């Protein structure tokens, strides 16, 4: 699992690779708590995500709720089993997926 951060003005892009499991969720939660000041757009690029766990869903939901108060969060390139999980759980109805 790896999360790469890149900031451009008030846009923060997180590129996630590997499994979005408990460890990755913990790291994503840390970013949500510490790195979102002044950020108006948060982009989660999930092209490299292989599997997603419930902890990963929880972390994404937390980030989404935080961004709802200060801007927007977009999820990019979600695919495969992760995409199916987003669709059947209803997460796809709540999140902005591009």
- Counting contacts by CB under 8 A, is residue 24 touching another protein? no
Residue 7 or 81 having the CB closest to another protein: 81
Report which secondary-structure segment, H or E, holds 44: strand 41-52
Residue 67 or 85 having the CB closest to another protein: 85
Integer Cα distance of 20 and 10 in angstroms: 25
- Counting contacts by CB under 8 A, is residue 61 touching another protein? yes
CB 43 within 8 A of CB 66: no
Integer Cα distance of 7 and 80 in angstroms: 27
What DSSP designation does 40 have? Answer: -
Residue 54 or 96 having the CB closest to another protein: 54
**Site size with another protein, rule: CB under 8 A:** 15
Write out the residues near another protein by the rule CB under 8 A: 52-54, 57-58, 61, 81, 84-85, 88-91, 93-94
């Amino acid at each position: 699992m790896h999360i790469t951060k890149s900031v451009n003005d008030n846009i923060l892009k997180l590129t996630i690779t590997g499994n979005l499991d408990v460890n990755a969720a913990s790291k994503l939660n840390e970013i949500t708590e510490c790195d979102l000041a002044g950020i108006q757009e948060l982009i989660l690029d999930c092209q490299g995500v292989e599997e997603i766990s419930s902890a990963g869903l929880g972390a994404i939901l937390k980030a989404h709720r935080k961004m709802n108060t200060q801007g927007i969060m977009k999820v990019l390139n979600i695919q495969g089993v992760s995409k199916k999980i987003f669709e059947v759980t209803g997460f796809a109805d709540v999140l902005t997926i591009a």
